[in-house]
Amino acid sequence: MALLSILRYPDPRLHTVARPVQAVDARIRDLVADMLDTMYDAQGIGLAATQINVHERVVVIDVSEDRNQPLVLINPAIEWASTERVKGEEGCLSVPGIYDGVERAVAVRVNALDGEGRSRTIEAEGMLAVCIQHEMDHLMGKVFVEYLSPLKRNRIKSKLLKQLREERA
């Protein structure tokens, strides 16, 4: 079990674009195991490698009530997204304590490699669809607060920077 530290907004490294994984080998399997440990420890429903400062297209998700249905998405690609959209409250382990509304596609179909390197297609709606879109944004260097108004985003930035300063004091 290894816990990795999670980058916090406004860390500029959160805006790095991740590169595709070339092969699902032992290194990637170790990374996935550590990301799952980290996500469960932090009580998140998802974690993108970007958040732990690894800039490869790896995501872990578990939206199950009992926290026992891990999903691993490597090199995820959206094959289809509904034109119907819905606004829901989002949070992020990299933006602790902040929650706000973001509009997303209601349903998506995603192709990705699983933890064993097998290709699979996932059809998602509800919380899983939201989480997949949120995590894929991380891989593109995008954090959910970038969907908010500049005013809100700047307030969030100031609040989190102040928290960091206070923690270091």
Pair 89, 97: CB distance under 8 Å: no
Of 134, 166, 158, which Cα lies nearest the Cα of 39?
134
The reply to whether 135 sits near ligand GNR by the rule CB under 6 A is yes
The reply to whether 8 sits near ligand GNR by the rule CB under 6 A is no
Distance CA 72, CA 66 (A): 17
At a CB cut-off of 8 Å and minimum separation 6, what does 78 contact? 108, 109, 110, 136
- 103: which strand partners? 87
Residues 64-103, interacting with Ni ion (CB under 5 A): 92
Nearest distance in Å: CB 152, ligand GNR:
16
Specify whether 135 is catalytic: yes
Provide the mask over 62-101, with x wherever binding to ligand GNR is found by CB under 6 A and - wherever it is not: ----------------------------xxxxx-------
Binding residues for ligand GNR, per CB under 6 A?
44-48, 51, 90-94, 130-131, 134-135, 138
